[in-house]
Amino acid sequence: EDQVTQSPEALRLQEGESSSLNCSYTVSGLRGLFWYRQDPGKGPEFLFTLYSAGEEKEKERLKATLTKKESFLHITAPKPEDSATYLCAVQASGTYKYIFGTGTRLKVLA
């Protein structure tokens, strides 16, 4: 069964304190892995797509990496405005479905 597990469930960081969020996945043929940011009361906002092991993508203070079993979202020197829930999703080969993890709630304190 295709499955996505994210850890930790919640994370509190001081401003400037770098850390990583984890997304472990089990899927029958990975077509793509996706990271989203979700602010309270809003829909998920697309951040990155990763297609194959070894790939990396960056956007401002965020960097996503991918291995054959997991993905990491590295946050470098975070700011309070980075506070949000970060969601990971996978799309399996030959399917239209996207399977989501339950997310990591990130709080960055000033």
Partner 1 sequence: NAGVTQTPKFQVLKTGQSMTLQCAQDMNHNSMYWYRQDPGMGLRLIYYSASEGTTDKGEVPNGYNVSRLNKREFSLRLESAAPSQTSVYFCASSGTGTAVGSIYFGEGSWLTVV
# binding residues, partner 1 (CB under 8 A)? 25
Tokens of 47: 């951040």
Q: How far is CA 72 from the centre of its chain?
A: 7
Residue 93 backbone phi and psi in degrees, to 5: -60, 140
DSSP conformation letters of 42-72: S--EEEEEE-STT-EEEETTEEEEE-SSEEE
Residue 14 beta carbon to partner 1: minimum distance, rounded to whole angstroms: 26
Work out which of 60, 81, 97, 110 binds partner 1, going by CB under 8 A. 97
Work out which of 15, 45, 56, 58 binds partner 1, going by CB under 8 A. 45
* CA nearest to 105, candidates 84, 88, 87, 89: 84
Judged by CB under 8 A, does residue 61 bind partner 1?
Answer: no
Work out which of 26, 31, 57, 72 binds partner 1, going by CB under 8 A. 31
Q: Which residues bind partner 1 (CB under 8 A)?
A: 31-32, 34, 36, 41-46, 49, 51, 87, 89, 91, 93-98, 100-103
